[in-house]
């Protein structure tokens, strides 16, 4: 039996631990592991080769993905998907593990429907926005990077009597900003999923400044496009010198945390076991619900849209009004 693994879409910490566990576990189960380099683009171009222990030595602590990733507009075209299928056939591969997000899962679902290539998706995106799962690979490392940066910025802000605006990643989902604001004790949180009452916040913050507050921390999700406006609001309405820090791609890298490494191993073993079972068909995804992993048909994941936990939103309500 031969199973291939690829990364797709944005990279994240935890992918390399998943890749190592994939090779180690496959070899222990007498399964031949293969790498598909450069994501779906590599699947089209045929950059596929067998993997072994030397390929995954000394990668557990590395962020990113040694097999690289990509976003592939070409995969939307049938002729390129057919070429991808023929490339797999040349290597005798009919099962694939994919590390990625919902866009990657949708691409592989269509690929299965057309050519019958079974796959299991492992949720890997720092946005944590895949329907049905409470956790995606890479999220914990990203949150810890944001936490470390926010703590350092607070040290500066409190020393200079300054306001600081910290922009996190999150185009459509404010998960990173929301959780980071809660765990860092921020005063303001701006996310796409909830409206901020800046007038009410201004009254509260001006009152706190009169009572001795010496700094303000605001966490803003990039998808709101409110970073500069928040800076201007703090300077004009609150009257504090303000600096903005855009964390950017530092949130995607870094040494994977213990939790991301452990979950990478669990996700991979579930995926490989499922693909090795000849009685199973179709495409699936490994999800994390109620502190447990479970496999669900890919149609379930692709049928819904992720919503932020209402309890988290409630915990941050005082940062929004």
Cβ distance 238 to 209 under 8 Å? Answer: yes
Instruction: Round to whole Å and give the CA distance between 175 and 129.
Output: 8
- Who contacts 28 (Cβ-Cβ below 8 Å, separation ≥6)? none
**Residues annotated catalytic, as ranges:** 127
Q: How many whole angstroms separate alpha carbon 182 and alpha carbon 197?
A: 18
Chain centroid, CA 251 distance in Å: 10
**CA-CA distance, 134 to 151, in Å (whole number)?**
25
- Beta strands 292-297 and 283-289, pairing class: antiparallel
Closest CA to 243 of 260, 255, 227, 258: 227
């Amino acid at each position: 039996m031969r199973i291939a693994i690829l990364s797709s879409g944005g990279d994240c910490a935890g992918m390399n631990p998943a890749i190592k566990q994939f090779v180690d576990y496959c070899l222990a189960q007498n399964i031949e592991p293969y790498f598909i380099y450069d994501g779906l683009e590599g699947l089209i171009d045929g950059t596929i080769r067998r993997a072994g222990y030397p390929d995954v030595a000394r990668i557990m602590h590395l962020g990113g993905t040694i097999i690289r990733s990509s976003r592939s507009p070409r995969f939307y075209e049938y002729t390129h998907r057919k070429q991808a299928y023929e490339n797999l056939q040349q290597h005798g591969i009919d099962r694939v593990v994919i590390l990625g997000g919902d866009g990657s899962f949708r691409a592989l679902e269509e690929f299965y429907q057309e050519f019958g290539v079974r796959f299991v998706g492992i949720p890997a995106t720092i946005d944590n926005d895949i329907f049905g799962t409470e956790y995606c690979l890479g999220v914990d490392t990203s949150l810890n990077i944001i936490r470390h940066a926010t703590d350092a910025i607070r040290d500066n802000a409190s020393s200079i009597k300054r306001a600081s605006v910290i922009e996190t990643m999150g185009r459509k989902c404010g998960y990173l900003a929301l959780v980071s604001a809660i765990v860092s004790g921020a005063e303001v949180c701006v996310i796409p999923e909830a409206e901020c009452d800046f007038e009410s916040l201004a009254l509260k913050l001006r009152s706190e400044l009169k009572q001795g507050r010496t700094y303000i921390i605001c966490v803003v999700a990039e998808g709101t496009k409110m970073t500069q406006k928040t800076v201007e609001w703090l300077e004009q309405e609150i009257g504090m010198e303000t600096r903005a820090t855009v964390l950017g791609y530092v949130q995607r890298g870094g040494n994977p945390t213990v939790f991301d490494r452990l979950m990478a191993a669990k996700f991979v073993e579930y995926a490989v076991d499922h693909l090795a079972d000849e009685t199973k068909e179709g495409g699936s995804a490994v999800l994390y619900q109620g502190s447990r992993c479970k496999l669900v048909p890919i149609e379930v994941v692709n049928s819904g849209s992720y919503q932020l936990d209402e309890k988290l939103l409630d915990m941050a309500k005082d940062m929004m009004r």
